[in-house]
Amino acid sequence: MGKRWGMWGLAAGLIVTAPLMAVQFLVQRLVGLPFAPFDLFDWLARVLPGNVITAGIDAIVGVIGGLDLGQTSSTAKTIERLMALGLFAAIGSAAGAILFAALATRRARRGWQAGLGLGLILGVLLLLVSASLGLPEITPLLGALWVLGSLAAWGLALGWLYDRLAAPEAARPVLRPASESAPAGMASNEQAVAASTLSRRQFLVQVGGAAAVITVSGAGLGMLLSERQRAAVTVAAALTGGQDLPPGLPNAADPLIPAPGTRLEYTPLAEHYRIDINLVSPRVSEQTWVLTIDGLVDHPLALTLDDLRGNYPAIDQYVTLACISNPVGGDLIGTTRWTGVSLQRVLADAGIHDGAGYLLIRSADGFYETLALDLVRADERIMLCYAWDGQPLTVDHGFPLRIYIPDRYGMKQPKWITEIHVSADYEDGYWVERGWDAVAQMRTTAVIDTVAAQALVDAGGQLRVPVGGIAHAGARGISKVEVQVDNGEWQAARLRAPLSETTWVIWRYDWPFAEGQHTFAVRAYDGDGIVQDDTQRGPRPSGATGIHGRSATLVAPADQTG
Ligand SMILES: Nc1nc2c(c(=O)[nH]1)N[C@H]1C(S)=C(S)[C@@H](COP(=O)(O)O)O[C@H]1N2
Ligand SMILES: [Mo]
């Protein structure tokens, strides 16, 4: 009895959970109220043990790389979103199964009351989850009511379904319009009965159909809205950055032209990778946001964005940011112009006490990292940044404020900063606590972006194949890049002047053409002349190392078609 009702409950749970998700999604797109499936997933990512999360991320990055699913960071977000939706749907179905089984074993009557109770309990739990991530700043009360109300409606619908299914057949209404007439020739009495009774299965199929309509239209409308918002961002990017390099780059006069197929030296903002612990980026309002600087200071500060922009000189730096999870040759790396203020200057205004040793930096999404004051004193390039590529930071990239720390992977550099607490004691940061390197110094790495087999050049009668890519060694700079073909001698590549001493360097090597299949490998030396680590090592725990290689089949130009 209980078991069979468990199956009905599983189906009913899915039937009410799917439209709940769709409607919540649509409302989130429209007015920014919480979307429970994503909030739940984001919350789980924070509370589950670090090694579980890390294994999960590794698996996702591995699958994306292995199946060649496109840009790692955006594909990973899509996979995580699908996981979040699947998880929520599974929980909803399971809740339905449990409720139905419990009601059936106790032969309970008013299922709707139990359903409402269950909805309210789950609503309160999800409300706590959403609240721990931060309810929408403008309408926290509305956000709370929405989470509670929509879950209550969900529970009510679930309980109502039970009541209908458990009731005698005659009590199950047909969801067909009343005007639709029954086949001619039926006695009016029969007709009434036929029109008003349905088997459980038929009934559930009808309700399921209605639920599917709501789900598809809600989700579709929501996706349409997302597409619109994305398009607006892309248009803005096209107007300001576009596909070509922006004018006025500091190395514009360098004569070295990148090998065709080399990535853009200055990453268009819309293409910059994004990595963080959120499916929903924290939306911080400029009106209420302040940066708090407190702890071991003479003058605790509460700085607005205008304070930061107005009271300190603006500094521009070209920066290459990379994620420590980037595999050798991966796409979790990008270069743009960061604008902000010197952290040394801001701290000077706060007056740091003698006993202070560390800055505990906290963010609106609950992320945190620790920065040693010794490092801040030694590196005047460390800055608090409010603009990228000449525009305010986008929501996804940390609006209103993020930090730049040269030579460190992204995991050490919080976005959406709200607080800097000056402390005597060191504390592990978010990813350090989860097993990643506490220093996270950027590794020396080189990548072959292209073997331009279709763009051979004729250099004084000698055909050559342009080979090219990037090399990067954090803030240490690149002194040399070498290419090896078919395991032969390492040959020096030409280097383009970088955008700054901390950005990646574009290299190019024109290899004397020879037909057939060839393998190409590349290695870089940092600014101190130290060659990169050639051990093949994955990202965990301190950044990937190893030689990047590529093979290409070269065909003589006369034989090339097209
Ligand atoms: N508040 C916050 N800051 C964060 C993170 C985060 O999850 N939350 N992720 C970090 C990591 S791991 C990286 S690689 C960089 C990525 O910055 P981007 O998304 O702007 O490229 O942000 C860093 N700062
Ligand atoms: Mo990262």
pLDDT in tens, 485-532: 999 999 999 999 999 999 999 999 999 999 999 999 999 999 999 999
46/267: higher pLDDT = 267
pLDDT value of residue 181: 47
Sign of CA dihedral 230, 233, 235, 238: negative
> How many whole angstroms separate alpha carbon 321 and alpha carbon 254?
23
Domain-located, residue 263: no
Name which residue sits closest to atom 1 of ligand 1, judged by CA: 415
Are 335 and 267 spatial neighbours (Cβ–Cβ below 8 Å)?
Answer: yes
Are 302 and 291 spatial neighbours (Cβ–Cβ below 8 Å)?
Answer: yes
Assess whether 76 and 158 both reside in one domain.
yes
Q: 238 CA to middle of ligand 2, Å?
A: 26
Atom of ligand 1 nearest to the CA of 275: 19
Assess whether 50 and 197 both reside in one domain.
yes
- Domain containing 321 — which CATH number? 3.90.420.10
Atom of ligand 1 nearest to the CA of 417: 1
Q: 38 CA to middle of ligand 1, Å?
A: 18
Q: 321 CA to middle of ligand 1, Å?
A: 10
Q: 154 CA to middle of ligand 1, Å?
A: 35
Domain-located, residue 75: yes
Domain-located, residue 302: yes
Name which residue sits closest to atom 20 of ligand 1, judged by CA: 397
Domain-located, residue 285: yes
pLDDT value of residue 359: 98
Assess whether 16 and 133 both reside in one domain.
yes
Average pLDDT over all residues of the chain: 89
Instruction: Tell me if 367 CB under 6 Å of ligand 1.
Output: yes
Q: Count Cα atoms within 13 angstroms, Cβ side, for 319.
A: 28
Which tokens is 554 given?
């070269």
Instruction: Tell me if 274 CB under 6 Å of ligand 1.
Output: yes
State which of 273, 384, 405, 413 you would mutate to test the pocket of ligand 1, scoring each by most atoms of that ligand within 8 A of its C-beta: 413
Give the percent of the chain with pLDDT over 70: 90
Q: How many domains does the chain have?
A: 3
pLDDT value of residue 499: 97
Where is the domain boundary, 397, 432, 467?
432
> How many whole angstroms separate alpha carbon 91 and alpha carbon 97?
10
How confident is the model over 530-544, as a mean pLDDT? Answer: 93
Tens of pLDDT, residues 141-177: 888 899 999 999 999 999 999 999 988 776 666 655 4
Residue 122: domain span: 2-175+187-226
Q: How many Cβ atoms are within 10 Å of 320's Cβ, its own excluded?
A: 23
Assess whether 482 and 380 both reside in one domain.
no
State which of 275, 363, 408, 419 you would mutate to test the pocket of ligand 1, scoring each by most atoms of that ligand within 8 A of its C-beta: 275
Q: 363 CA to middle of ligand 1, Å?
A: 10
Cα distances from 67 to residues 72, 214, 451, in angstroms, run: 11, 34, 21
Instruction: Tell me if 134 CB under 6 Å of ligand 1.
Output: no
Strands 391-392 and 383-388: antiparallel
Assess whether 407 and 469 both reside in one domain.
no
Domain-located, residue 236: no
pLDDT value of residue 194: 47
Q: 410 CA to middle of ligand 2, Å?
A: 5
Instruction: Tell me if 330 CB under 6 Å of ligand 1.
Output: no
Atom of ligand 1 nearest to the CA of 334: 21
Q: 335 CA to middle of ligand 2, Å?
A: 15
In the numeric block, the tokens 């699908």 are attached to 82
pLDDT value of residue 187: 47
pLDDT value of residue 69: 78
State which of 415, 418, 432, 434 you would mutate to test the pocket of ligand 1, scoring each by most atoms of that ligand within 8 A of its C-beta: 415
Domain-located, residue 241: no
Residues belonging to the chain: 562
How confident is the model over 121-132, as a mean pLDDT? Answer: 90
Assess whether 8 and 115 both reside in one domain.
yes
Lowest mean pLDDT among 229-238, 371-380, 449-458: 229-238
Where is the domain boundary, 369, 403, 432?
432
Q: 412 CA to middle of ligand 1, Å?
A: 8
Q: 9 CA to middle of ligand 2, Å?
A: 41
Assess whether 388 and 454 both reside in one domain.
no
pLDDT value of residue 107: 85
Strands 291-295 and 417-423: parallel
Name which residue sits closest to atom 9 of ligand 1, judged by CA: 276
Assess whether 202 and 346 both reside in one domain.
no
Assess whether 312 and 218 both reside in one domain.
no
Which tokens is 371 given?
């920065």
Instruction: Tell me if 164 CB under 6 Å of ligand 1.
Output: no
How is 237-266 classified by DSSP, letter by letter?
HHHHT-SSPPTT-TTTT--PPPPTTPPPSS
- Domain containing 521 — which CATH number? 2.60.40.650
Locate all alpha helices (DSSP H) within 319-372, ordered by sequence: 343-350
Assess whether 428 and 449 both reside in one domain.
no
- Give the global pTM: 0.79
Sign of CA dihedral 86, 87, 90, 92: negative
Domain-located, residue 258: no
Lowest mean pLDDT among 58-72, 78-92, 417-431: 58-72
How confident is the model over 287-315, as a mean pLDDT? Answer: 97
Q: 347 CA to middle of ligand 1, Å?
A: 23
Assess whether 412 and 460 both reside in one domain.
no
Name which residue sits closest to atom 21 of ligand 1, judged by CA: 274
Tens of pLDDT, residues 453-492: 989 998 888 999 999 999 999 999 999 999 999 999 999 9
Where is the domain boundary, 432, 456, 482?
432
- Whether the ω angle into residue 541 lies within 30 degrees of 0, i.e. cis, is yes
Domain-located, residue 508: yes
pLDDT value of residue 4: 86
Are 544 and 333 spatial neighbours (Cβ–Cβ below 8 Å)?
Answer: no
Assess whether 211 and 72 both reside in one domain.
yes
Q: Which ligand is nearest to the CA of 271?
A: 1
pLDDT value of residue 50: 78
